[in-house]
Amino acid sequence: MPAPQKPSLNLSEREVFLNFCRHGNLTKAAESLNIYPSTVSRCINNLEKNLSVKLVKKAGNKLSLTECGKNYYNILNSLLEEILSYEKEISQDDSLDITLITSDFFLDAWVSKCISEFIDKRDRNKIRLISNGYLSKDNIKENTIFVGSGRHNNDAQQMLLKNISKAKLGFYARKNNSFVTEDRMYSIQELTKFPIIKISSEDNNYLTSLNGKISYEFTNTFMIVDSIYLCAYQGIHFDCIFVACESSTAALIQEGEIYKIKTNEELDPIYIDVLFTKNLKNKPLALDLINSIYTAGVALFHPQTPQLSSPD
């Protein structure tokens, strides 16, 4: 047996006590830890003093656990099993390979920073990035994360979800736009006849109302972009009608540069979500990435919202 050494700074009195309980005596516990039996005894005594309870009792030359000692051992042992299980999960995540699907806009706005931090944690982590922004059965594999508007996609029904934002959509135009006027009420069908800039959707040709019951074909679409923010920018630049949300247009309306077109029906909102395959729920490092993307997204879309703990 190697010469006994002083306990490592990482060897807590609780761990010494656990080893004593498992081996039943000071000598065997000391041998398992490569320390002196007197050190085992001292650690147990210190633990008893700190807890103000008796954990071990002596009957003749035999040491045994008190009732409190037995209960304390069971609790410590259970917690240790949880710790070892978690460490095993982390170890299994050591070379995590994730497919991440999002749009170029979301990637530039905040997702790329989260990816970099994820890779920096362990350089063996890998991200297969798909930046076309669309979910399909062909790109949903194990270890897949999607950031964007995809909750109504049939291929995503078996994925888990964390909602970042609900964006209420509407039609907007610059002041003195030649196609529409600020005072008149329009039907959405009328607006489909004008040149319009809109955000991309699953097949790039419609927006919906009444929870998807009505879809609109925009045959005169002037431009399709991948974000509601870019819609507003391009709409102002080209003086076209454009689709946007309240958060991206509030300042421009207040400045008197644009207005919301009055319509007799509302467009369905879009939901910006983080969707992920169920197997990632049991991968701590993957959940770190998912929660990082979620938290940064909420901060971007709701800068005035206090940061609460993220939902499960």
CA distance 237 to 174: 9
The pTM assigned to this predicted structure is 0.59
The pLDDT value given to residue 200: 66
Q: Which domain holds residue 143?
A: 97-164+272-301
Q: Identify any residues that bridge with 132 across adjacent strands, giving them in sequence order.
A: 103
Task: Assign 47 to helix, strand or coil.
Answer: helix
Examine the domain organization and report whether 152 and 288 are in the same domain.
yes
Examine the domain organization and report whether 126 and 155 are in the same domain.
yes
Examine the domain organization and report whether 186 and 42 are in the same domain.
no
Q: Identify any residues that bridge with 260 across adjacent strands, giving them in sequence order.
A: 172
CA distance 146 to 73: 44
CA distance 98 to 91: 16
The pLDDT value given to residue 66: 93
For residue 5, being part of any structural domain is answered with no
- For the chain, the domain total comes to 3
Examine the domain organization and report whether 251 and 193 are in the same domain.
yes
What is 70-129 written as a DSSP string? HHHHHHHHHHHHHHHHHHHHHHHGGG-EEEEE-BHHHIIIIIHHHHHHHHHH-TT-EEEE
Q: Taking a C-beta distance cutoff of 8 angstroms, is the pair 122, 112 a contact? A: no
Per-residue pLDDT of the chain (312 residues; tens, 9 = 90+): 445 444 443 458 888 999 999 998 899 989 888 888 999 999 999 999 988 999 999 888 889 999 999 999 999 888 877 877 766 665 654 567 889 998 888 888 899 999 988 888 766 778 888 876 677 777 777 889 999 887 777 778 889 999 998 888 899 999 989 899 999 999 988 988 888 887 765 444 457 776 667 777 777 777 777 667 778 888 888 999 998 888 778 888 999 999 999 999 888 888 889 999 998 998 888 899 999 999 999 988 776 544 433 334
CATH, residue 260: 3.40.190
The pLDDT value given to residue 289: 92
Examine the domain organization and report whether 124 and 35 are in the same domain.
no
